[in-house]
């Protein structure tokens, strides 16, 4: 269930590359596919390597949580404005800058002399990845002006991300056999090839797009301090001064963010958009889906190695059935949405997730590995199905000029859900002596969160209007449709 699970996933499957529409189209497509593939591999590869990283730095659970959350938080926070950055400096230039930042940060990760340096570099990686995702789609849109060719290019983009996510755990296991640092070193040659290919693509036009600096800084501060507070509370308790202080800063930053969106001249997230029930519920559902999926990946990566004693490679192989099947769920969700409406695959996917998590939560800690592998499959498949259909449902209901903002808010919410799940669940399993009850409690929390999101999905009924105000002026001249 990756960032690739977007409206692009609903494009029809194709065989072979799209025809070249403009000069440099094929090199641009190849660069985009390589860059997006690398980012999706990196999103999955680290979970398998966490025990090795912990041993290498002598780190406890808190440090490992930040290795995952540093990337996810930066990804979430900067997704809110990455589309504006892409438009402002041009899609090709933004893609090159984001990819270059990601590759440079990968080099620092690979050479990190301490856990603090590794976490800092992961933050930069996440910021680079946040720029790459929207700029990659914008680059394909302008490179392939013909709708048929563009549909094929975007379909390949979605497949590339899915294959990357599927390959991540196995690649992580193989590379960790040599050294965990190899999972970051491998990004350097792949990124270099992508940047060389990109030089043959045409330079993108720039647009005069305003940037919401206050909103962006407030969003980063709110998300970062909230996650910090939850992680540190797991280690030190909720009553310590720094935890309470972090929660207070998160609240103040959130208020500043909302104020900036309500009163700012160029808000990242126009509040009339969030007041729409279809948008607000979609954001909440997306949050719940990633709480379940990312939380499960984090927990089982530790469980399979620390409890069952599997190697990093064997752990990667254990994830393979789930990730491979997940790669094929986009077309399935598309067909179900066409036949029964988008709400049906969203609900079906959520039910699969909840059932899989509940079943895992009831397993004894010594249950055979193969049973855990089997139960991961409905969680992964259901997640991919639900996210694909949810994104399509959201983009169908918002006007075209709001689609980029709505998609950014949805994906930022999903990434924040993943970050907070790692923070909370990591605290519950931090004590090795209580790992088993912490694991079961975490899985039950994830299942309950998805169950609540099922209720939210059922509220997305047909009486929801088909259109949301496209501009602030339009919103002010008539009641906002809900």
* Residues 257-283: tens digit of each pLDDT: 888 888 877 787 777 777 778 888 888
Buried b (16+ CB within 10 A) or exposed e, 86-112: bbbbbbbbbbbbbbbbbbbbbebbbeb
Residue 412: left (phi > 0), alpha (psi -120 to 50), or beta?
alpha
In the structure encoding, which two tokens stand for residue 126, read together? 């996440």
In the structure encoding, which two tokens stand for residue 413, read together? 């919410």
User: What local confidence, expressed as pLDDT, does residue 470 receive?
Assistant: 41
Nearest to 393 by CA among 344, 340, 343, 464: 343
Average pLDDT score over residue span 85-105: 87
Higher-confidence residue of 11 and 420: namely: 420
Rounded-to-integer distance, Cα 411 and Cα 405, Å: 10
Give the pLDDT band (50/70/90) at residue 53: very high
Average pLDDT score over residue span 310-334: 83
pLDDT exceeds cutoff 80 at 163: no
Average pLDDT score over residue span 386-404: 72
φ, ψ for residue 100, nearest 5 deg:
-60, -40
* Residues 193-238: tens digit of each pLDDT: 999 988 877 776 666 667 778 888 888 898 888 888 888 877 667 7
Higher-confidence residue of 294 and 328: namely: 294
In the structure encoding, which two tokens stand for residue 146, read together? 């013909």
Q: How much of the chain exceeds pLDDT 90, in percent?
A: 23
In the structure encoding, which two tokens stand for residue 179, read together? 């050294």
Kindly report the length of the chain: 482
User: What local confidence, expressed as pLDDT, does residue 220 receive?
Assistant: 86
Average pLDDT score over residue span 134-163: 76
Rounded-to-integer distance, Cα 9 and Cα 236, Å: 43
Determine contact, residues 446/292, Cβ cutoff 8 Å. yes
Rounded-to-integer distance, Cα 421 and Cα 449, Å: 11
Higher-confidence residue of 40 and 13: namely: 40
Whole-number Cα distances in Å, 103 to 38, 144, 443: 10, 26, 34
Rounded-to-integer distance, Cα 314 and Cα 99, Å: 30
pLDDT exceeds cutoff 70 at 149: yes
Rounded-to-integer distance, Cα 453 and Cα 460, Å: 11
Looking at 27-36, 91-100, 154-163, 203-212, which range is the least confident one? 203-212
Average pLDDT score over residue span 435-444: 92
Nearest to 408 by CA among 423, 389, 393, 395: 395
Give the pLDDT band (50/70/90) at residue 425: very high
pLDDT exceeds cutoff 90 at 360: yes
3-state SS class at 482: coil
Higher-confidence residue of 253 and 340: namely: 253
pLDDT exceeds cutoff 60 at 21: no
pLDDT exceeds cutoff 70 at 462: no
User: What local confidence, expressed as pLDDT, does residue 332 receive?
Assistant: 80
Average pLDDT score over residue span 427-453: 90
Beta-carbon-side half-sphere exposure of residue 135 (alpha carbons within 13 Å): 34
Buried b (16+ CB within 10 A) or exposed e, 236-253: eeeeeeebeebbebbeeb
Determine contact, residues 457/351, Cβ cutoff 8 Å. no
Give the pLDDT band (50/70/90) at residue 465: very low
Averaged pLDDT score across all residues of the chain: 81
User: What local confidence, expressed as pLDDT, does residue 471 receive?
Assistant: 39
63 Cβ partners below 8 Å, 6+ apart?
Answer: 54, 57, 115, 119
Higher-confidence residue of 162 and 467: namely: 162
Determine contact, residues 79/134, Cβ cutoff 8 Å. yes
- The dihedral of CA 11, 14, 16, 22: what is its sign? negative
Looking at 227-236, 353-362, 463-472, which range is the least confident one? 463-472
Give the pLDDT band (50/70/90) at residue 400: low
Looking at 16-20, 162-166, 198-202, which range is the least confident one? 16-20
pLDDT exceeds cutoff 80 at 308: yes
Determine contact, residues 136/128, Cβ cutoff 8 Å. no
Whole-number Cα distances in Å, 12 to 21, 83, 283: 19, 25, 26
Rounded-to-integer distance, Cα 349 and Cα 226, Å: 29
Higher-confidence residue of 4 and 417: namely: 417
Nearest to 76 by CA among 194, 188, 258, 221: 221
What's CA 374's distance to the chain center, in Å?
24
Whole-number Cα distances in Å, 307 to 50, 277, 311, 457: 14, 43, 11, 36
Average pLDDT score over residue span 50-70: 87
φ, ψ for residue 264, nearest 5 deg:
-70, 155
Higher-confidence residue of 213 and 463: namely: 213
φ, ψ for residue 208, nearest 5 deg:
-80, 85
Average pLDDT score over residue span 276-291: 87
User: What local confidence, expressed as pLDDT, does residue 16 receive?
Assistant: 46
Q: Give me the helix-helix angle, 369-397 and 403-428, nearest 10°.
A: 150
Q: Tell me the range of 133-142, 330-339, 360-369, 404-413 where mean pLDDT is highest.
A: 360-369
Q: Tell me the range of 117-121, 291-295, 452-456 where mean pLDDT is highest.
A: 117-121
In the structure encoding, which two tokens stand for residue 360, read together? 């895992």
Rounded-to-integer distance, Cα 416 and Cα 446, Å: 14
pLDDT exceeds cutoff 70 at 432: yes
User: What local confidence, expressed as pLDDT, does residue 435 receive?
Assistant: 87
User: What local confidence, expressed as pLDDT, does residue 399 receive?
Assistant: 67
Rounded-to-integer distance, Cα 334 and Cα 346, Å: 11
């Amino acid at each position: 269930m990756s960032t690739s699970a977007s409206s692009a996933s609903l494009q029809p499957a194709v065989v072979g590359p799209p025809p070249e529409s403009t000069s440099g189209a094929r090199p641009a497509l190849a660069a985009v596919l390589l860059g997006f593939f690398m980012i999706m591999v990196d999103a999955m590869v680290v979970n398998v390597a966490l025990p090795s990283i912990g041993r290498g730095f002598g780190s406890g659970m808190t440090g490992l949580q930040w290795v995952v959350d540093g990337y996810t938080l930066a990804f979430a926070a900067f997704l809110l404005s990455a589309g504006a950055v892409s438009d402002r400096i041009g899609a090709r230039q933004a893609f090159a800058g984001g990819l270059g930042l990601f590759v440079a940060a990968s080099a620092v990760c690979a050479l990190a002399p301490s856990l603090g340096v590794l976490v800092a570099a992961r933050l930069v990686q996440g910021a680079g990845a946040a720029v790459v995702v929207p700029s990659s789609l914008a680059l394909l849109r302008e490179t392939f002006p013909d709708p048929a060719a563009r549909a094929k290019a975007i379909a390949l983009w979605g497949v590339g991300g899915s294959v990357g996510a599927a390959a991540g755990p196995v690649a992580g296991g193989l590379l960790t056999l040599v050294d965990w640092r190899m999972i970051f070193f491998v990004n350097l040659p792949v990124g270099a090839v992508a940047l060389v290919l990109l030089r043959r693509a045409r330079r993108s036009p720039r647009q005069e797009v305003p940037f919401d600096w206050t909103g962006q800084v407030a969003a980063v501060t709110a998300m970062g301090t909230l996650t910090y507070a939850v992680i540190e509370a797991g280690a030190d308790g909720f009553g310590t001064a720094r935890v309470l202080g972090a929660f207070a800063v998160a609240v103040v930053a959130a208020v500043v963010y909302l104020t900036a969106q309500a009163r700012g001249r160029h808000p990242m997230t126009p509040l009339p958009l969030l007041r729409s029930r279809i948008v607000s519920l979609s954001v909440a559902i997306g949050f719940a889906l990633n709480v379940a999926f990312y939380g499960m990946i984090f927990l089982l990566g530790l469980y399979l190695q620390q409890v069952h004693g599997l190697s990093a490679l064997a752990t990667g192989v254990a994830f393979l059935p789930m990730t491979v099947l997940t790669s094929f769920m986009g077309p399935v969700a598309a067909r179900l949405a066409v036949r029964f409406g988008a709400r049906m695959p969203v609900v079906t996917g959520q039910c699969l997730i909840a059932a899989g998590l509940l079943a895992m939560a009831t397993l004894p800690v010594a249950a055979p590995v193969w049973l855990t592998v089997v139960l991961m499959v409905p969680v992964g498949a259901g997640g991919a199905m639900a996210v694909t259909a949810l994104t399509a449902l959201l983009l169908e209901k918002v006007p075209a000029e709001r689609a980029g903002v709505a998609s950014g808010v949805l994906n930022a919410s999903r990434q924040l859900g993943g970050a907070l799940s790692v923070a909370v669940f990591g605290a519950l399993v931090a004590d090795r002596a209580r790992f088993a009850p912490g694991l079961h409690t975490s899985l039950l929390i994830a299942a309950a969160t998805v169950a609540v999101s099922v209720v939210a999905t059922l509220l997305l009924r047909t009486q929801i209007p088909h259109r949301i105000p496209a501009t602030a002026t339009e919103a002010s001249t008539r009641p906002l449709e809900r």
